[in-house]
Amino acid sequence: MAVGVLAACARPADSPPAAPQPSSSQPTLPAGWRWESYGGVQVGVPADWGWASQALRLDAWCIKPGNHPPAVARPGAGVPAIGCPAATNGTPTGSLITNTGWTVGFARTDRPDGITHEGDRTTIRRDTVEVIVQAPQQLRDQITATVHQVEVDSAGCPTSHRISTGPDLRPTPPADLATLRDVTSVSVCKYPLPETSPALSPRLLSSLRLDGAAAADEIQQIAAAPIGAGDLDTPADCAPEVAHGDQIILLLIRAATGTSEATVRYAGCVQNGFDDGTTVRRLTKPAVAPLVTGPNQIYGGFAGQPEKNEMLLPHD
């Protein structure tokens, strides 16, 4: 995995990027729910649901079957080499909440738009994204009624960004984070890098948003990080074509001077660090932690990189 920055198209090179605006035409969420987005599709879930790895929750459910706490499950970790039972009395066993718990899962697909039903599962396909909803019927109907397409999600992250088209891109125009004042919000947008989506255009994987004091503190933490990647860059450990990893995080920072961009690279062997286009700063746990929580959790480990694993992966 890795991180970098992008700039909006069709604007002067020396002007700040315009702040993306969340899509306005969307269903009304029930009270106490939140939005989750993936690949340009947004779905509402109860706010007390957690997050999980789709590989373990839905694909290899038989490793730890049971009615687990409700969660939103995203791709991100390799699927263990295990074959779960395919069906019981004609019903796919992986579609039963007694095996998986209440779950909303996401994936990319090349199948046409449509809706399918099996067991306790409804799958909605929209514009190369499928939303898997596995829950009791009444709740399932409530969740599926919220599914809709967006160009900018509720966290302020655009569905696609040029950072996914060039893994070594840097923020343009550059904006030294140490000089920003009156930061009001930060959209934290995770994207895949090109080699991970050869058949489908790369799109947003997940997002979250920091507002007010949390946003200002995050930018201060990054600005205070040491300059340089340190020993987190290990170019000899990766082939050049995959050296940047499979993911990148883009920060859209709103401050008194306008919107600026920065990247967070963490998933590969090169260019690790926070990059605002002027300076690369070392990843530090206090600065990284707020960016890789909740929907932005990282589930795949980093071989031979215990410092990265401690910094980036969720801990029980």
Q: Where are the domains of the chain?
A: 33-149, 162-312
Per-residue confidence (pLDDT) for residue 79, from 0 to 100: 62
pLDDT at res. 92 = 86
Per-residue confidence (pLDDT) for residue 84, from 0 to 100: 82
> In this predicted structure, what is the pLDDT of residue 137?
97
Q: Is the pLDDT of residue 6 over 50?
A: no
Of 78, 69, 68, 140, the C-alpha closest to 302 is 78
Question: pLDDT > 90: what percent of the chain?
Answer: 60
Query: pLDDT, tens digit, for every residue of 141-153?
Result: 999 999 999 999 9
- What does the block give as tokens for 64? 């730890």
Helix (H, G, I), strand (E, B) or coil at 67: coil
pLDDT(214) > 90: yes
164 — pLDDT class (breaks 50, 70, 90): confident
pLDDT at 179 over 90: yes
What pTM did the predictor assign?
Answer: 0.88
Q: What is the pLDDT of residue 243?
A: 85
pLDDT of residue 253: 97
Q: Are 287 and 266 in contact (CB under 8 A)?
A: no
In terms of Cα–Cα distance, which of 117, 104, 96 is closest to 42? 104
Mean pLDDT in the chain?
87
| Number of neighbours of residue 305 by Cβ within 10 angstroms | 18
Determine the Cα–Cα distance for residues 265 and 222; give it in Å rounded to an integer: 13
The closest of 63, 27, 55, 57 to 42, measured between CA atoms, is 27
pLDDT band at 201 (very low <50, low <70, confident <90, very high): confident
Own/partner pairs, 117-123, CB within 8 angstroms, 24+ separation: 118/91, 118/92, 119/91, 119/92, 119/95, 120/95, 120/96, 121/92, 121/95
Mean pLDDT of 89-114: 92
Spatial CA neighbour of 70 closest among 153, 142, 147: 142
**134: β partners:** 103, 121
87 — pLDDT class (breaks 50, 70, 90): confident
Average pLDDT over residues 214-228: 96
Q: Give CA–CA dist 146/44, Å, rounded.
A: 6
**Residue-wise DSSP of 105-162:** EEEE--SPSEEEEETTEEEEEETTEEEEEES-HHHHHHHHTT-EE-SB-TTS-BS--G
The closest alpha carbon to 103, from 152, 59, 41, belongs to 59
User: Of 41-45, 53-57, 256-260, which one has max mean pLDDT?
Assistant: 41-45
Tokens 């090179």 — which residue?
Answer: 13
Give whichever of 22-26, 66-70, 228-232, 280-284 has the largest mean pLDDT.
Answer: 280-284
Q: Binning pLDDT at 50, 70 and 90, where does residue 11 land?
A: very low
> Which range, of 149-153, 195-199, 250-254, averages the lowest pLDDT?
195-199
Q: CA-to-CA distance for 133 and 49, rounded, in angstroms?
A: 13
Tell me if 149 sits within 8 A of 173, measured CB to CB. Answer: no
pLDDT band for position 172 (50/70/90)? Answer: confident
At 206 the pLDDT is 97
Q: What is the pLDDT of residue 96?
A: 92
* pLDDT over 70 at 67, yes or no: yes
**pLDDT confidence of residue 191:** 95
* Alpha-carbon span 54 to 84, nearest angstrom: 14
